[in-house]
Amino acid sequence: MPRILIPLAQGCEELEAVTLIDLLRRAGMTVISAGLDAMPVRASRGVVLLPDTTLDEVLDQEFDMIVLPGGLPGADYLNQDARIQTLLKTTVAAGRYVAAICAAPKVLASAGLLAGKRATSYPGVLNAISGLHFVDAPVVIDGQVLTSRGPGTAMEFALAIIETLLGIAQREAVEAQLVRG
């Protein structure tokens, strides 16, 4: 099963973080949530999240995908963390996937991973970034890079990740359990 790393920064968007962790685990993936430090993470709306581990503890491990939740100031903290920048670049260089939602696509842009790519984000986040093609869609997949708009698209984003890594049948199986329609 795929191994997924979800870094959690102080001020992340809890709806995105929890939705991603939950749905990817429902699909049978190994999901590791890692705090940037050893502290509990106070998300953007005050919900306290307890990461599985710290980022330092998993830096030498390989993951099939790194998924960045958005929210502010969480996405800014991810963007300022040299470890995150290095992980994103080495993951793509190894032929694996990166994904970001809401304000977090700017972290991918800072790492140089959106140059020439189609991408989406929370409104306004990618406006000042040149070299990418902004797409106003809930989820955008361009090669090894997946992006999404915000809290309201978190479930669709998680399902797109499942489909990308495990196929349409697994996506449909997880989606059926959610009773979305």
Q: Which residues are catalytic?
A: 102
Tell me which H or E stretch contains 32.
Answer: strand 30-35
Cα–Cα distances (Å) from 51 to 32, 85, 114, 169, 172, in that order, read 8, 20, 28, 29, 28
In contact, 113 and 98? CB cutoff 8 Å: yes
Please name the residue that has the structure tokens 């300022």.
Answer: 80
**Per-residue b or e along 108-139, where b marks 16 or more CB atoms closer than 10 Å to that residue's CB:** bbbbebbeebbbbbbeebbeebeebebbeebb
CA atoms within 13 A on the CB side of 97: 25
